Amino acid sequence: MNALVIIILYLLVLLLLGWGSSRLFRGTSKDFFVASHSIGPFLLLMSVFGTTMTAFALVGSTGKSFERGIGTYGLMASISGLIHMAIFFLIGIRLWALGKRNGYLTQIQFFRERFESPRIGYLLFPILVLLVVPYLLIGIIGAGKVIEPVTAGAFPGLFSNPTIPAWSGGVPPWLTGLVICMVVLTYVFIGGSRGAAIANAFQTVVFMGMGIVAFYFVVQSLGGLEKAGSVPMRINEKGEMVQDYHFDKTSGQLMAYQSPKKIGVVTDFSNSNLTDKHPHLSRDTVTVEFKKKNPKTGEMIPFEREIGMPFITFVTYLFIPLSVGMFPHLFQHWLTARNARAFKLTVIAHPICIMIVWVPCVLIGSWASGLLPPSIPPPAVLSAMLSLVVGDPLLTGLLTAGVLAAIMSSLDSQFLCLGTVFTNDIVVYRAGKNSISDGQKLKIARLFIVLIVGATYLLAMALKNANVFDLAIWCFSGFAALFPLVFSALYWKRTTKYGAIASIITALITWSYFFHQSGYGGEYFVGPGIVPAAICFVASATSLIVVSLFSVPPAKSTIDRFFPSQS
């Protein structure tokens, strides 16, 4: 119950912030869409960081490290620090400058003019929406999955139809999703992009802080960093995967087993060098067979897991973070900047912020491999570790608020972005800029945001059992496949309309093919472990270059306009 009270308090603070930001609202559509270009360095850093980090930053990173080990940090976090920083510096500032000078509010407005093609907007609009909507679903489904176990037993008479019997009395996912959507809708509806930026900043501070708090308590309970470092599961001389420790809840201490507990078997133990290795502490790949209980029959069934990661996967994963260059909601955040100097703090501090959030979570995930049963679902690892080694409902409530903060700080920007794109790129564009008043634009945007929130909520409830984190990687892959479009638009004068269209169509075809091959959302690698985004990116870039070279170059006036410093 304590946990629920903290979560409710947290949501009330968000509503209060939304009300506060609405007092700063200037009543214009430009203020609603891009905060009248008034956001300073700190708010820009917090809102950009909060938007790029979803629930995956806390829950998913811990779960992924539990599965694959500490290589998770290099695979997803440190490379994102480098690529994101470079994108903010090389792309963000240029797009902000062009957007401010030319009055752009959306990516599509920029691409239409840069590529001298109104039609390119109609091609891009459904693709961007198609990629943002699953991203929204991740947040709503993820929130439902987090809250139900945390509140289990709180309302035994009220909620008697839980997802699994152990969560009886917990707040059901439909209610969590509904409350989250209503809170986000409220502060976006009344505060627009400034409301989202202020709420994002608060939420980013909360989820960064909660990650550190969780880490501190776990380390204390495990007896310090050195001791915790010896906890991950180990391979013994027989090729068995064993756990050397267990956590005694009565004494609140880490205790060594008299004889290590066997939890799995290495499938290929011909390599005796594996003896006494902790595979979660390096990146060598080891396949292990574990067992889990079938919830229906009670029978123990085997399942395999690859710990570590193939080198080719590690290398090709660098294409995934390129996605931020094409996030339409991030484009909108960039445009809120007061001036170019506001980007300086984001360029410098973004990699550090990633480190602050990810390093503790990755460590907790690898330690959890030596204490939790291997069959536990990866998204449940962080809360299970806290429940096992800390067991304080107050802390659980705070951490849950942190996870919700990470989720909602992405949701708000995406809802706002879809409203902005629909209003400006479809309605205003079709009707003509001068035929719709500023007040009408505001009304249309707000109406569309309400509709998209409703539609997304219903879709999330229909797909509530989807594996949300695998879905996230597919969204990122799609945006990464479109990255050549934005990079060439800013750095290659010779890029043509037909090159751009070929690039978009190639990205769509290759992404759709691999998405189909994955079974519509599962983890999927090509050949020896190549990430599909790498192939989609190369295909998209190649078609852009080839078709551009064989088509008529853009007009000189267009080049002069989009490459002002060199003209």
| Contact assessment for residue 503 and residue 481, using Cβ atoms and an 8 Å cutoff | no
- Residue 168 C-beta: closest distance to other proteins, Å: 38
Among 68, 278, 441, 464, which residue interacts with other proteins (rule: CB under 8 A)? 278
Residue 454 touching other proteins (CB under 8 A):
no
Task: Check residue 493 for interaction with other proteins (CB under 8 A).
Answer: no
Q: Which stretch binds other proteins (CB under 8 A): 97-105, 123-131, 386-394, 450-458?
A: 97-105
| Rounded distance between C-alpha atoms, residue 90 and residue 343, angstroms | 11
Q: Decide: 250 and 281 in contact? Cβ < 8 Å.
A: no
Q: How far apart are CA 542 and CA 534, in angstroms?
A: 12
| 274-282, 517-525, 528-536, 542-550 -> range binding other proteins (CB under 8 A) | 274-282
> Does 82 participate in binding other proteins (rule CB under 8 A)?
yes
Minimum CB distance to other proteins smaller for 122 or for 524: 122
Cα(83)–Cα(352) distance, rounded to whole angstroms? 13
* 70 sits near other proteins (criterion: CB under 8 A): yes
Cβ atoms within 10 Å of 9's Cβ, excluding its own? 12
The closest of 327, 428, 328, 564 to 30, measured between CA atoms, is 428
- Please pick, from the candidates 71, 378, 397, 499, the single residue that binds other proteins as defined by CB under 8 A: 71
113 is a contact residue toward other proteins (CB under 8 A):
yes
Contact between 564 and other proteins by CB under 8 A: the answer reads yes
CB-nearer residue toward other proteins: 103 or 522: 103
- CA distances to 56, 143, 214, 363, 485 from 402, rounded to whole Å, are 12, 11, 10, 18, 35
Q: How do 300-307 and 286-293 pair as beta strands?
A: antiparallel
User: 147-186: which residues touch other proteins (CB under 8 A)?
Assistant: none
Closer residue to other proteins in complex, CB, 491/550: 491
- Residue 217 or 474: the one with the smaller Cβ distance to other proteins is 217
Q: Which of 360, 266, 287 is CA-nearest to residue 67? A: 287
Nearest of 398, 439, 409, 392 to residue 329 by alpha carbon? 409
> Long-range contact list for 251-260, CB < 8 A, 24+ apart?
252/221, 253/223, 254/221, 254/222, 254/223, 254/227, 260/234, 260/236
Least distance (Å) between residue 377 CB and other proteins: 24
Q: Which stretch binds other proteins (CB under 8 A): 49-57, 69-77, 179-187, 495-503?
A: 69-77
Q: Is 68 in the site for other proteins (CB under 8 A)?
A: no
Nearest approach in angstroms of CB 339 to other proteins is: 7
240-248 β-sheet, strand order:
234-235, 240-248, 253-266, 286-293, 300-307
Asked if 363 interacts with other proteins (CB under 8 A), we say yes
CA distance 427 to 213: 46
- Binding of residue 362 to other proteins (CB under 8 A): yes
Of 7-15, 148-156, 349-357, 517-525, which segment contacts other proteins by CB under 8 A? Answer: 349-357
Q: How many residues bind other proteins (CB under 8 A)?
A: 68
Q: Which of residues 205-224 bind other proteins (CB under 8 A)?
A: 224
- Which amino acid does the sequence have at 304? E
32 binds other proteins (CB under 8 A): no
Which position among 12, 16, 26, 101 is part of the footprint of other proteins (CB under 8 A)?
Answer: 101
Cα separation, 194 vs 37, in Å, equals: 10
Please say which residue, 115 or 515, places its beta carbon nearer to other proteins: 115
Binding part of the chain for other proteins, among 98-106, 206-214, 320-328, 405-413 by CB under 8 A, reads 98-106
Q: Which two tokens stand for residue 327?
A: 């996030």
By CB under 8 A, tell whether 9 contacts other proteins.
Answer: no
Quick one: CA torsion of 517, 61, 150, 137, rounded to 10 degrees? -40
277 counts as binding other proteins under rule CB under 8 A: yes
Contact call for residue 112 and other proteins (CB under 8 A): yes
Within 8 A by CB and 6+ apart from 564, the residues are: none
Q: Does 471 bind other proteins (CB under 8 A)?
A: no
DSSP conformation class of 55 = G
Burial class (CB in 10 A: 0-12, 13-18, 19+), 470: middle
Count CB-CB contacts under 10 A for residue 87: 25
Question: Is the Cβ of residue 19 or residue 314 nearer to other proteins in the bound state?
Answer: 314
Q: Is residue 96 involved in binding other proteins (CB under 8 A)?
A: yes
**Spatial separation of the C-alpha atoms in residues 15 and 35, rounded to whole Å:** 19
The residue from 14, 318, 361, 482 that contacts other proteins (CB under 8 A) is: 318
Q: Is 433 in the site for other proteins (CB under 8 A)?
A: yes
Among 9, 26, 102, 549, binds other proteins (CB under 8 A): 102
343-379 burial code (b ≥16 CB/10 A, e <16): bbbbbebbbebbeebbbbbbbbbbbbbbbbebeeebb
Largest CA distance in the chain: 79
Taking the complex as a whole, how short is the minimal distance between the CB of residue 537 and other proteins, in angstroms? 15
Among 175, 265, 315, 459, binds other proteins (CB under 8 A): 315
Stretch that binds other proteins, among 72-80, 126-134, 172-180, 534-542 (CB under 8 A): 72-80
- Alpha-carbon distance 515 to 534, whole Å? 14
Interface positions with other proteins (CB under 8 A): 30, 36-37, 70-71, 73-74, 77-79, 81-82, 85-86, 89, 93-94, 96-98, 100-104, 109, 112-113, 116, 118, 224-229, 277-278, 281-284, 311, 314-315, 318, 339-341, 344, 347-352, 354-355, 359, 362-363, 366, 429-430, 432-433, 564-565
